[in-house]
């Protein structure tokens, strides 16, 4: 009963990062974690420094052995997941077993990452693939910079409401 109360306390009162560390996820410095979906083997996940993991991102360290269990009742296999430094993982992405992500990587929202990727790329899709590189991203989006980081909510809202249309990103 005491363990159940402790588990509930962790789930509702600890930050996502503190919770992740408590279940064995290795996390570097300066990270922002907004998910609690680290699978059944969270101790096989390593996250570098300055990584942002947004909401509903899911990690899976195993899977699919079920279809072989009638023939091999004890089969199980696992893959470590390693996320490099300075990585952004967009909402609802899924990171599958055995994946390594390099440094300076952007993973687009909703991506299903089924294989490893090198540093300095932008990936997205299902399955995820390289769609650009970070240098092109920097060159493109610097022209849209509004330097709103640190503004209070009201000032930011006023700026955005009164901003001319050409200053917004268009796809």
pLDDT in tens, 96-122: 999 999 999 999 999 999 999 999 999
CB 22 within 8 A of CB 38: no
Concerning whether 50 is annotated as a catalytic residue, the answer is no
Please give the pLDDT value at position 17: 94
Residue in 62, 80, 82, 156 annotated catalytic = 62
Q: Which segment, 1-5, 105-109, 140-144, is predicted with the most confidence on average?
A: 105-109
Tokens 């101790």 found at: 43
Please give the pLDDT value at position 24: 96
Candidates 167, 166, 160; CA nearest to 144 is 167
Question: Which tokens belong to 152?
Answer: 């209070």
Does the pLDDT of residue 12 top 90, yes or no? Answer: no
Domains, the chain, with CATH or none? 2-133 (2.160.10.10)
CB 65 within 8 A of CB 75: yes
Please return the burial class of 60, using the count of CB atoms within 10 Å of its CB with bins 0-12, 13-18 and 19+. Answer: buried
Q: Which residues pair with 47 in a beta bridge?
A: 27, 83
Does the pLDDT of residue 7 top 90, yes or no? Answer: no
DSSP state at residue 109:
T
Mean pLDDT of the chain: 94
């Amino acid at each position: 009963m005491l363990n159940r109360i402790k588990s509930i306390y962790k789930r509702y009162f600890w930050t996502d990062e503190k919770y992740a560390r408590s279940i064995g996820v290795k996390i570097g410095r300066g990270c922002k974690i907004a998910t609690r979906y680290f699978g059944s083997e969270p101790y096989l996940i390593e996250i570098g420094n300055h990584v942002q993991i947004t909401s509903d991102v899911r990690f899976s360290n195993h899977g699919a052995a079920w279809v072989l269990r009638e023939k091999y009742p004890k089969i199980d296999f696992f893959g470590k997941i390693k996320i490099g430094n300075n990585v952004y993982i967009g909402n609802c992405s899924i990171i599958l077993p055995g994946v390594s992500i390099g440094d300076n990587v952007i993973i687009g929202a909703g991506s299903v990452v089924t294989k490893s990727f090198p540093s300095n790329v932008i990936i997205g899709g299902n399955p995820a693939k390289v769609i650009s590189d970070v240098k092109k991203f920097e060159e493109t989006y610097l022209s849209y910079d509004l330097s709103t980081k640190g503004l209070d909510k009201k000032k930011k809202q006023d700026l955005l409401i009164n901003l001319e249309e050409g200053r917004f990103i268009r796809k």
